[in-house]
Amino acid sequence: MTVAVDFRNVDIVFGSDQAGSLALIDSGASRAEILEKTGNVLGCAGASLTVHEGEISVLMGLSGSGKSTLLRAVNRLNVVSRGQVLVKDGDKTVDVVTCDEATLRRLRQKQVAMVFQQFGLLPWRTVEENVGLGLELAGVPEAERKERVHRQLKLVNLDQWAKKYAHELSGGMQQRVGLARAFATEAPILLMDEPFSALDPLIRTKLQDELLQLQAELKKTIIFVSHDLEEALKIGSHITIMEGGRIVQTGAPEDIVLRPANDYVRDFIANVNPLSVLTAWNVMRDRRDLDHGEDGWVWLDRRKTTRFKIDEHGLVVAAERNGKPAVWVSCADVEAHPEETAQVFWANPGTSLKTVMFAMYRSQTAPVALFDDQSRFVGAIGVRDVLSAVLRR
Ligand SMILES: Nc1ncnc2c1ncn2[C@@H]1O[C@H](COP(=O)(O)OP(=O)(O)OP(=O)(O)O)[C@@H](O)[C@H]1O
Contacts of 272 by beta carbon, 8 Å cutoff, 6+ apart: 229, 230, 233, 257
Burial profile 100-139: b = 16 or more Cβ within 10 angstroms, e = fewer:
eeebeeebbbbbbbbbbbebbbeeeebbbbbbbbbbeeee
Q: Band the pLDDT of 363: cuts 50, 70, 90.
A: confident
Distance 101 CA to ligand 1 centre (A): 25
Rounded mean pLDDT of 319-334? 88
The ipTM assigned to this model is: 0.94
- What CATH number belongs to 3-272? 3.40.50.300
**Domain(s) of CATH 3.40.50.300: residues in the chain:** 3-272
Cross-strand partners of 238: 57
Of 14, 60, 74, 225, best ligand 1 pocket probe by most atoms within 8 Å of the beta carbon: 14
**Domain(s) of CATH 3.10.580.10: residues in the chain:** 281-390
- What CATH number belongs to 281-390? 3.10.580.10
4-48 pLDDT, tens digit per residue, is: 999 999 999 999 999 999 999 999 999 999 999 999 999 999 999
Atom 16, ligand 1: residue with shortest CA distance: 66
Pocket of ligand 1 (CB under 6 A): 14, 41, 43, 61, 63-69, 227
Distance 107 CA to ligand 1 centre (A): 24
pLDDT of residue 14: 96
Q: Band the pLDDT of 56: cuts 50, 70, 90.
A: very high
Atom 1, ligand 1: residue with shortest CA distance: 14
Lowest-pLDDT range of 166-180, 212-226, 297-311, 373-387: 166-180
In whole numbers, what is the pLDDT of the chain averaged over residues?
90
**φ, ψ at 32 (rounded to 5°):** -65, -40
Element (DSSP H or E) covering residue 379: strand 377-381
Q: Band the pLDDT of 136: cuts 50, 70, 90.
A: confident
Please tell me the distance from the alpha carbon of residue 30 to that of residue 250, in angstroms, as a whole number: 20
Q: How far is CA 39 from each of CA 21, 23, 152, 245, 300, rounded to the nearest angstrom?
A: 9, 14, 45, 16, 62
Contacts of 378 by beta carbon, 8 Å cutoff, 6+ apart: 284, 286, 287, 314, 349, 370, 371, 372
**168 closest CA partner among 203, 123, 116, 201:** 123
Of 41, 63, 71, 223, best ligand 1 pocket probe by most atoms within 8 Å of the beta carbon: 41
Distance 382 CA to ligand 1 centre (A): 46
Contacts of 319 by beta carbon, 8 Å cutoff, 6+ apart: 306, 307, 308, 309, 325, 326, 327, 328, 344
Distance 352 CA to ligand 1 centre (A): 37
Atom 3, ligand 1: residue with shortest CA distance: 14
